[in-house]
Amino acid sequence: MQERVVVGVLFSISRGLLGELFPVYLGKNIIGLTPNCDISLKEKTVSPEHAILHTRKTETGLEASITDFNSTFGTQVNETDARYETIPVKENDIITIGSHYQFVIKFFDMEKCGLAENLDFEDPSSENIGEYNNITSADVDFYRPTKEEGDSSRTVIY
């Protein structure tokens, strides 16, 4: 898990109708083919380090821009070629990476939504939380409940 502020997401259905979500972090987001990229895309027309999406917070809200990183198949914002200059990116813009990946970008404005950090938030790993410490994933799998004798309220399929 990265220790960076998430300020939005890139959403795509290019690889399938189930969709893919990629977090967009405050600051520099490297988009490319290699696993060490912030947004790693597995597609042949994506270069190893394809583009840089940069986000910053200003007095008026979030601003973003994208720069193609000398890729082979290019980067576009709303069909404008980003290979020759840094292009501003706004919410709902369509970003094309390579020949096949298209994303819509969504930003999260926490202040407008009224979201804030809860300073009373309790981390369960920092203290004993009783009986829940011993629960395994099999214990909480409600698709495979244990069937008690005479209990006809559940159907268990093994």
- CATH number for the domain spanning 104: value is 2.60.200.20
Angle formed at CA 93 by CA 90 and CA 94, multiple of 5 degrees: 150
Domain membership of residue 91 as a residue range: 6-110
Q: Is residue 121 a part of any domain in this protein?
A: no
DSSP letter, residue 37: S
Mean pLDDT taken over the chain? 83
Q: Is residue 130 a part of any domain in this protein?
A: no
Q: Is residue 143 a part of any domain in this protein?
A: no
39-40 and 20-25 beta bridge pairing: unpaired
Mean pLDDT value across residues 109-137 = 69
Confidence (pLDDT) at 33: 97
Q: Is residue 78 a part of any domain in this protein?
A: yes
The set of residues, in sequence order, having a beta carbon less than 8 Å from that of 26 and lying 6+ positions away, is 4, 5, 6, 7, 55, 56, 57
**Could you give the number of structural domains in the chain?**
1
Residue 154 pLDDT more than 80? Answer: no
- Per-residue pLDDT tens for 75-113? 999 999 999 899 999 999 999 999 999 999 999 988 878
110: three-class secondary structure by DSSP:
helix
